[in-house]
Amino acid sequence: MTKQHRFKQTLVPPVLFVFLLLNVILLMGYGLAGCTNGSNFIQSTGQSGELSGDQSEEQGMAPSESPVVETEIDFTKIKPNEAGRIMVLMYHGISEPEAEWVRTPDNLRKDLQVLYDQGYRPISLKDYVSGNITTEAGYTPVVLTFDDGLQNNFELIKNAQGEWELNPNCAVAILEEFHREHPDFPLEATFFINNNTPFGQPEHVAYKLQYIVDKGMDLGNHTNTHVNFSTADASRIQKEIVGVVKMVGEYLPDYEINTLALPFGSRPKDKELYTYLEQGSYEGTSYKNIAILNVGWDPDKSPYHQDFNPFAIHRIRASEIQKYVQHVGMYDWLEKFDKGSLTRFVSDGDADTVTVPEDYKEQLAEQKIGKRTLKTYELEE
C-alpha cells in the first residue's frame, strides 16, 4: 500500500470561538463609534482595519493563523523519484547544415518540443548542483548547455527599419520563443564562453552578456583560449580560467562565473592538478567553481545521490544522428527512460523535500539532502 502524507486541519474550540466572536462585536462597535467621514479605522501601526499580534493578545485575541488545509500527496499518480537520473544536454553551434557539433535551428526547436511533450522541464545548472529542484510535481528536470559562445548562439540582425533585433534562428531567440509559447517550460540555459569576443559582434558584447543574465539565464567558463588541459601546468590552468572570470567581471561586476565546461572534455594528466580546476587564482583574481562539466555520454545522478560529483558532471549530445552520437545521444536516453531501462528523476514539486520510493532511499546521502525533509513511500505492485 502507498503511504499517504497528511496534514491535519487546525480547528478552533467552541468556547474560544464564542469568546472571539464577542471581542469582534465589541471591536466593531468601537470602530463604528470612532469613524468620521467614512474613513477606515486605523490602528497606531498604520495598518487599516488590522491588529498587530501584540495588540490582539492584549485585548484577549489570539494572533491570526492561516488555516491548514488537509492535503494528500497522490504518490500512485505522480510516482516521484528524486533519486533518478537527470540529463545535462550539450549543444555547440546552431546553424545549417547539421554536423557533428552543429544542430540546425529547426532541430533545436524539435528537441525542445520533444522534451516538453515527454515531461521534461529546464532548470539552471546552478540549481541542479545545489539540489534546488523547483520542477513541477510529476515532471523531470533537464539542464541545457551551449559551448563556445558562437555568434549563432546569440546573433543580432537589423530589421527592415534598420533596428537591431534577435536573429530568430539563433539559440537565444529559439529558447525565448519556445518559452513564450510554453510558459511552463522555463527559460533556463547556461552559455559557456571563451575570451574571444563571446557571441561575436564585438560592438554588442556588453549588451549580449547583460541580456543573458537579465533574462535569468547563465554564463559559464569555457576558458580563455579553449585550452587542452591535458598539457597545461598549474599556472596555465589558473590563467585560462581567470581569463574568462576577469573578462565577464569587466562587463558584469556583480555576476559570479562559477561553472566550468572542460574544453575537449580534457583534464590534466596529473590528477594532483585537478584541484586547480575547482579553485585557484592568477594575478590577484581568484575563482571557485561549483560545477565542472565533461563532454559526457549519459544522464548524471541526482544531486542527492551518494555518488553525485559536481566536479565531473556527465553531459549528452542533443542529437539523434547516430554517426555523431553513437547510441548515447539525447534520443537514445529518452527511449531508455521511456522503456524503464533507466530511472529518470521525477520531481515531487517541493524544493524543500526529497521524495523517493522506499527501495531507493539507501542511494541517497544525508549530507547532500541537507536540511530538506526526506519522504519515502511504497510503490504498489
DSSP H or E stretch at residue 9: none
Q: What is the mean pLDDT of each run of 10 residues along the chain (381 residues)?
A: 33 38 40 35 30 35 38 80 99 98 98 99 99 98 99 98 98 99 99 98 98 99 98 98 99 98 98 99 99 95 99 97 95 98 98 97 98 93 66
Q: Given 29, 49, 72, which residue is the final one in a domain?
A: 72
Phi, psi (5° rounding) for residue 298?
-155, 165
C-alpha grid cell, residue 334: 529518452
Residue type at position 223: T
Structural domain span for residue 194: 76-377
CB 344 within 8 A of CB 85: yes
For cell 480547528, name the residue. 11
Give tens-digit pLDDT for 13-42. 443 333 334 443 443 343 333 333 333 322
Phi, psi (5° rounding) for residue 106?
-65, -35
Angstrom distance (rounded) from CA 101 to CA 321? 11
Angstrom distance (rounded) from CA 15 to CA 32? 26
Q: Given 41, 72, 103, which residue is the final one in a domain?
A: 72
CATH number of domain containing 300: 3.20.20.370
Q: Given 39, 57, 72, which residue is the final one in a domain?
A: 72
For cell 557571441, name the residue. 199
Q: Are residues 147 and 47 in the same domain?
A: no
Q: Are residues 100 and 57 in the same domain?
A: no
User: Whole-prediction pTM value?
Assistant: 0.82
Coil/strand/helix, residue 83? coil
pLDDT for the residue 73: 66
pLDDT for the residue 379: 84
Angstrom distance (rounded) from CA 252 to CA 246? 10
Q: Are residues 101 and 212 in the same domain?
A: yes
Coil/strand/helix, residue 291? strand
C-alpha grid cell, residue 64: 491570526
87: nearest Cα among 348, 369, 338, 361? 338
Q: Are residues 200 and 245 in the same domain?
A: yes
DSSP H or E stretch at residue 143: strand 140-147
